[in-house]
Amino acid sequence: DPCRNFHCKRGKVCHADERGKPRCICQDPAACPPTKDYEHVCGTDNKTYDGTCQLFGTKCQLEGTKMGRQLHLDYMGSCKYIPQCTDYEVDQFPLRMRDWLKNILMQYYERDLNTSGILTEKQRSKVEKIYQNDKRLAAGEHPVELLLHDFEKNYHMYVYPVHWQFHQLDQHPVDRLLTHSELAPLRASLVPMEHCITRFFQECDGDRDKLVALKEWCHCFGIKE
CATH for the 12-76 domain, from 3.40.190.10, 3.30.70.330, 3.40.50.10490, 3.30.60.30:
3.30.60.30
Q: What is the helix (H) or strand (E) element at residue 152, kind and residue range?
A: helix 144-153
Q: What is the mean pLDDT of residues 5-16?
A: 92
Q: What is the mean pLDDT of residues 64-78?
A: 93
pTM: 0.77
Confidence of residue 140 (pLDDT cuts 50, 70, 90): low
Nearest-angstrom CA–CA distance, 65 and 60? 10
Q: What is the mean pLDDT of residues 144-149?
A: 86
User: Is 1.10.238.10 the CATH number for 87-221?
Assistant: yes
- The answer to whether 42 and 78 are in contact (CB under 8 A) is yes
Nearest Cα neighbor of 145 from 196, 84, 95 is 95
Nearest-angstrom CA–CA distance, 117 and 71? 36
Confidence of residue 132 (pLDDT cuts 50, 70, 90): confident
E-state strands within the chain: 12-16, 22-26, 41-43, 48-49, 73-76, 177-178, 212-213
pLDDT for the residue 137 = 64
Residue 136 has pLDDT above 80, yes or no: no
Find how far residue 127's CA is from the centre of its chain. Answer: 21
